[in-house]
Amino acid sequence: MRAKEISYRAAYIGNFLWYLKGVSRSNTIIIENTDFGLFLLRKRDCLEVFMQMAKEGLLIIEPEQKGRPVVTLITSKSESYQLSPTNTEEAEE
């Protein structure tokens, strides 16, 4: 729901990312150009919203692979959670 605080467009694009996450079963998504058409989105609009969402700490944008955006969603079970100090101490024990 934090995407909705940015804009309604971000909430819609958040649903798009959630769908792709479910299909790929991974927090890191390589978005094909044809995927944007599934939700009637333009790549340019998505990239703008991805930048806003990255500033809010909702996702990480990685360099494009062959013109395809690579996005990593930050969830409670993703990399940012696993690298917290309490989890690294538990792993060392």
Sign of CA dihedral 47, 49, 52, 58: negative
Per-residue HEC secondary structure of 13-66 comes to HHHHHHHHHHHHCCCEEECCCCHHHHCCCCHHHHHHHHHHHHHCCCEEEEEEEC
For the question of whether the overall pTM of this predicted structure is more than 0.85, the answer is no
Note the CATH number of domain 2-92: 1.10.10.10
Per-domain boundaries in the chain: 2-92
Q: What is the pLDDT along the chain (93 residues), one digit of tens a residue?
A: 466 567 788 888 888 999 999 998 989 999 998 899 888 999 888 888 899 889 888 889 988 888 898 999 887 754 444 444 444 444 454
